[in-house]
Amino acid sequence: MGELTVGSSVGVRLTWDYEPTDSRTGALYQRAKQMQWSVDDVDWRLPVEFGSPLPDDSAFAMTAFAASPLARRGRPAWDAFRWELQAWMVSQFLHGEQAAMVVASRLVEVMPDLESKFYATTQAVDEARHVEVFSRYLRTHVPHPYPVSEPLLLMLTDILGDPRWDVVALGMQIMVEALAMAAFRLAGNTFHDDLIKRITTLVARDEARHVSFGVLALGGLYDSMTSAERAEREDLVLESAALIRRRFLLADIWDRLEVPLREGTDFAAHHELMIAYRQAIFSRVGNALGQIGLLTPRVRTGLERLDLIRFTEGATR
């Protein structure tokens, strides 16, 4: 399936200050050690019949099916789409998890204080476990996993190549991790077997810590930046968000299902269900951006324009 090499030069930091300074990151580190689990804890005997007929979708989803380019092929085509969406999502999780593992180890190198370094080492172990668990699921149960989607590849290349630690943390801990966490939380509704639902529940617990770490590490940082520096971070958010939107037009799936690309992506871009799905997937990114003080007017406007966020009285939904 190929490989990716990203060149980057980072300032690796060591500190000789061993005095604890940040009790919240310290507490997160202690919790991370207590909450470790093993891939063998999962009950791998849970059955998965990939591609089997599915129970009726919600009325809203069935309306979407009727409006989709799959409608003329009949109901089995919708089930095929739902299974392919699951296979695609889990495949993208897997590729994202590997990048998260690499980034966590990068954060060990570049973060300034010891407690953040401690915490990031536990995250690297978490991410290794996530790579292990998703790749085992895909190898065992999914006949044709998907390669990394092009928009995700572009996003990871941008993030991994950046020498600034806060930009790496923003890209990965906020944009990628919070997105994944929301997707894991939606798994109960959007995935079709108990094994993957069990796996995503376990993984989501770890990801919640990772997002908290991102929020702790980045919170308050932007206040001390110049407006030019802050604008660069806003650019990263908006560029990543545009790539996320493009990724969720699902080109890879339309291609596999032999739906003309234009028809498939038009449906994904405009149907109410697909927009609501992207907004649900993006909701935690919006929350996390708010928590770190980066949901600036410019970012809000950009995200609204991408239809990833709607504001009701200032709250994300």
66, with CB counted inside 10 A (0-12, 13-18, 19+), is exposed
The answer to whether the beta carbons of residues 140 and 45 sit under 8 Å apart is no
Residue 160: CB minimum distance to Fe ion, A: 15
The window from 28-36, 100-108, 181-189, 264-272 that contacts Fe ion (CB under 5 A) reads 100-108
Residues 13-72 that bind Fe ion (CB under 5 A): none
The verdict on 100 binding Fe ion (CB under 5 A) reads yes
Question: Pick from 95, 117, 129, 130: which binds Fe ion (CB under 5 A)?
Answer: 130
Contacts of 292 (CB under 8 A, 6+ apart): 170, 174, 214, 215, 218, 219, 220, 221, 222
Residue 206: CB minimum distance to Fe ion, A: 6
Q: Which two tokens stand for residue 236?
A: 């990263």
Distance CA 208, CA 289 (A): 15
The verdict on 185 binding Fe ion (CB under 5 A) reads no
The window from 20-28, 53-61, 95-103, 191-199 that contacts Fe ion (CB under 5 A) reads 95-103
Nearest Cα to Cα of residue 153 among 211, 108, 98: 98
Distance CA 211, CA 279 (A): 18
Number of residues that bind Fe ion (CB under 5 A): 7
Q: Which two tokens stand for residue 126?
A: 């978490």
Each residue 232-271 as x (binds Fe ion by CB under 5 A) or -, in order, gives ----------------------------------------
Measured from the CB atom, the residue of 15 and 201 that comes closer to Fe ion is 201
Each residue 163-182 as x (binds Fe ion by CB under 5 A) or -, in order, gives --------------x-----
Distance CA 159, CA 163 (A): 9
Nearest Cα to Cα of residue 202 among 38, 23, 3, 10: 38
The verdict on 210 binding Fe ion (CB under 5 A) reads yes
The verdict on 95 binding Fe ion (CB under 5 A) reads no
Question: Pick from 97, 115, 162, 193: which binds Fe ion (CB under 5 A)?
Answer: 97
Interaction site with Fe ion (CB under 5 A): 97, 100, 127, 130, 177, 207, 210
